[in-house]
């Protein structure tokens, strides 16, 4: 058995567990937000109730100037869960405090007016109650921990049941099928596949796989005598068809050069090889001069002759199995020169220009003088394919602007 083998049941259980944990975390986040707001609102309500029940007593104690009674009532307020600090600011300038005063500036503060005991509209003072944020977090954490423990317990139980069912109904039959397939030999090809699954009213995918084995065995038995011959014939047909398809996919039908699809696949490989080996890699962009004029004056058939002759002359000047030519489009060709530096590539481009510049004898006997402009660009480490092609095309444009039938590098 391969070291990389992992039972399908284990993979499914792992995914279920990860999904369950993800759902638990998401649900806990939502539940935590809801609990936080709920506990905060409950604590605020408790503080408001606490203030409303103590303010009358505080009003009387302040009016009667009984500081000890005021301090006792503040101690009662601070002793309540969720209250961190309480302060009374009296209009006369007095101030009474209880609790942790450091929480005044980083926790929520609720303010209440202390009225006069005689019913006057003027306030006697102000009561500040600071709620304890840590209390809210403690309440939320305790609720979430209990909920998560219950959810994880349920997840473990479900995963255990699913694991048992998967091992019984999936893993064990698949192992039996795999063992049966591993024991098959030409001599035991007709042995039936028997799975220990018991009687069932309905069929499932395991039965489909087992039925497929039976169908395969029957088909192989029927054709066993002529199998070798059929395989050989079909292999030859397939190789021929694949060769034709490969040629159509990678070659230009008119010139026999490679096409742009092959360029997009092969050129990045050449760039990677050059990057790894440190050898230079050059590219020549070639364009037949005045090709549109040739088409307009002599016709498209002559234009095809020109393209075919140009491609043949390009190939004749290159290294076999090393350099390669792509018909980039229309009258444009791209020549890729592996392991070729800038000076050598420029020399090759000059040879290509000279080869194309010789007169062409057409099929009807006429002679036609053709020329080409070429741009040479050396690949720079880290440069992408498209920027490289654009740089070579720009050099080609320079050659045309300088009068055509030239090489720009």
pLDDT at residue 7, rounded to an integer: 66
pLDDT at residue 172, rounded to an integer: 77
DSSP string, 125-173: EEEEEEE-HHHHHHHHHHHHHHHHHHHHHHHHHHHHHHHHHHIIIIIHH
Percent of the chain with pLDDT over 90: 34
Higher pLDDT, 261 or 103: 261
b/e for 318-329, b at 16 or more Cβ within 10 A? beeeebbbbbbe
Q: Is the dihedral of CA 351, 352, 357, 359 positive or negative?
A: positive
What's the mean pLDDT when you consider all of the chain?
A: 85
pLDDT over 70 at 358, yes or no: yes
pLDDT over 90 at 247, yes or no: no
In this structure, CATH architecture of domain 8-137: 2-Layer Sandwich (3.30)
Q: Quick one: average pLDDT of 4-18?
A: 72
pLDDT over 80 at 319, yes or no: yes
pLDDT at residue 23, rounded to an integer: 81
Give the torsion through C-alpha atoms of 258, 264, 267, 272, to 10 deg.
Answer: -150
50 C-beta neighbours (distance < 10 Å), count? 20
pLDDT over 60 at 131, yes or no: yes
Name the region of 170 (left: φ>0; alpha: ψ -120 to 50; beta: rest). alpha
DSSP string, 335-394: EEEET--HHHHHHHHHHHHHHHHS-EE-TTS-EE---EEEEEEE--TT--HHHHHHHHHH
DSSP 192: P
DSSP 122: S
In terms of C-beta density within 10 A (0-12 exposed, 13-18 middle, 19 or more buried), how is residue 373 classed?
buried
b/e for 62-87, b at 16 or more Cβ within 10 A? beeeeeeebeebbebbbeeebbbbbb
CA distances from 174 to 6, 8, 91, 164 (A): 13, 10, 85, 15
Q: Is 4 helix (H, G, I), strand (E, B) or coil?
A: coil
pLDDT at residue 259, rounded to an integer: 94
Higher pLDDT, 401 or 248: 401
Q: What pTM did the predictor assign?
A: 0.45
- The ranges assigned to domains in the chain are 8-137, 203-243, 260-402
Q: Quick one: average pLDDT of 328-347?
A: 95
Rounded Cα gap, residues 84 and 99, in angstroms: 6
Q: Quick one: average pLDDT of 278-285?
A: 96
**pLDDT tens-place string over residues 18-48:** 887 788 788 778 888 888 888 888 888 888 8
Rounded Cα gap, residues 87 and 71, in angstroms: 10
Determine contact, residues 398/375, Cβ cutoff 8 Å. Answer: yes
Rounded Cα gap, residues 243 and 237, in angstroms: 10
Give the torsion through C-alpha atoms of 89, 94, 98, 102, to 10 deg.
Answer: 70
Q: Which of 370, 224, 341 is nearest to 283 (CA)?
A: 341
Higher pLDDT, 176 or 84: 84
- Crossing angle, helix 385-401 and helix 260-277, to 10 degrees? 110
CATH 3.30.70.270 fits 260-402, yes or no: yes
Give the torsion through C-alpha atoms of 146, 150, 151, 153, to 10 deg.
Answer: 140
**pLDDT tens-place string over residues 212-224:** 777 877 777 776 6
pLDDT over 80 at 190, yes or no: no
């Amino acid at each position: 058995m391969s070291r990389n083998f992992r039972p399908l049941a284990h993979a499914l259980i792992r995914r279920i567990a990860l999904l369950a944990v993800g759902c638990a975390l998401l649900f806990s986040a939502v539940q935590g937000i809801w609990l936080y707001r709920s506990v905060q609102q409950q604590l605020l309500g408790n503080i408001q109730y606490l203030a409303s029940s103590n303010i009358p007593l505080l009003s009387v104690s302040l009016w009667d100037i009984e500081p000890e009674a005021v301090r006792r009532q503040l101690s009662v307020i601070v002793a309540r869960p969720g209250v961190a600090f309480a302060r009374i600011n009296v209009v006369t300038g007095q101030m009474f405090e209880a609790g942790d005063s450091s929480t005044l500036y980083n926790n929520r503060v609720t303010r209440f007016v202390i009225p006069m005991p005689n019913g006057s509209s003027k306030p006697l003072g102000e009561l500040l109650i600071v709620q304890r944020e840590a209390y809210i977090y403690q309440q939320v954490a305790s609720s979430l921990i209990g909920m998560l423990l219950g959810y994880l317990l349920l997840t473990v139980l479900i995963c255990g049941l699913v694991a048992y069912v998967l091992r019984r109904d999936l893993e064990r039959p698949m192992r039996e099928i795999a063992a049966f397939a591993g024991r098959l030999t030409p001599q035991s090809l007709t042995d039936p596949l028997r799975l220990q699954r018991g009687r069932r009213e309905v069929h499932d995918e395991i039965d489909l796989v087992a039925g497929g084995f039976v169908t395969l065995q029957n088909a192989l038995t029927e054709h066993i005598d002529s199998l070798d011959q059929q395989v050989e014939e079909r292999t030859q047909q397939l190789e021929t068809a694949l060769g034709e398809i490969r040629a159509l996919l990678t070659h230009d039908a008119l010139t026999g050069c490679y096409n742009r699809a092959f360029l997009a696949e092969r050129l990045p490989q050449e760039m990677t090889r050059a990057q790894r080996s440190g050898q230079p890699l050059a590219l020549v962009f070639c364009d037949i001069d005045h090709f549109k004029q040739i088409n307009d004056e002599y016709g498209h058939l002559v234009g095809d002759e020109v393209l075919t002759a140009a491609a043949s002359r390009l190939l004749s000047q290159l290294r076999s199995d090393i350099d390669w030519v792509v018909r980039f489009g229309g009258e444009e060709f791209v020549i890729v020169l592996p392991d070729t530096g800038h000076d050598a590539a420029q020399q090759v481009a000059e040879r290509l220009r000279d080869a194309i510049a010789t007169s062409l004898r057409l099929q009807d006997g006429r002679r036609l003088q053709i020329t080409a402009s070429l741009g040479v660009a050396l690949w720079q480490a880290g440069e992408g394919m498209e920027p490289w092609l654009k740089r070579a095309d720009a050099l080609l444009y320079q050659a045309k602007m300088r009068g055509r039938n030239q090489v720009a590098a």
